[in-house]
Amino acid sequence: MVQLTQTAILSTAYLPNVRYISKLLLHKQSVIDIYETYQKQSYRNRCTIYGANGPQQLTIPVIKTNGNHTLCKDILIEYETNWQHVHWMAIVSAYGHSPFFEIFEDELAHLFEKKEKFLIDFNLKILRQIQESMGTDFNIGFSQHFIMPADESYDFRNSIHPKERLNKPDKYFKPVNYFQVFSEKFGHQPNLSFIDLMFNEGPQAIDICRQMCWL
pLDDT in tens, 39-68: 999 999 999 999 999 999 999 999 999 999
Q: Which residue has the higher pLDDT, 169 or 75?
A: 75
What's the confidence (pLDDT) of residue 169? 81
pLDDT in tens, 152-179: 679 999 899 998 877 778 999 999 999 9
Residue 202 region by backbone torsions, left for phi larger than 0, else alpha for psi between -120 and 50, else beta = left
Count of domains observed in the chain? 1
Instruction: Say if 1 falls within a structural domain.
Output: no
Instruction: Say if 189 falls within a structural domain.
Output: yes
For residue 54, what are the domain limits?
8-211
Question: β-strand 46-51 against 54-59: which pairing, if any?
Answer: antiparallel
Instruction: Say if 101 falls within a structural domain.
Output: yes
Instruction: Say if 2 falls within a structural domain.
Output: no
Instruction: Say if 64 falls within a structural domain.
Output: yes
Task: Please report which residue ranges of the chain form alpha helices under DSSP H.
Answer: 18-26, 83-95, 101-109, 119-134, 183-186, 194-201, 205-211
DSSP for 109-133, please give it: HGGGTS--SBHHHHHHHHHHHHHHH
Secondary structure (3-state) at 84: helix
| Residue 151: band (very low, low, confident or very high) from pLDDT cuts 50, 70, 90 | low
Instruction: Say if 3 falls within a structural domain.
Output: no
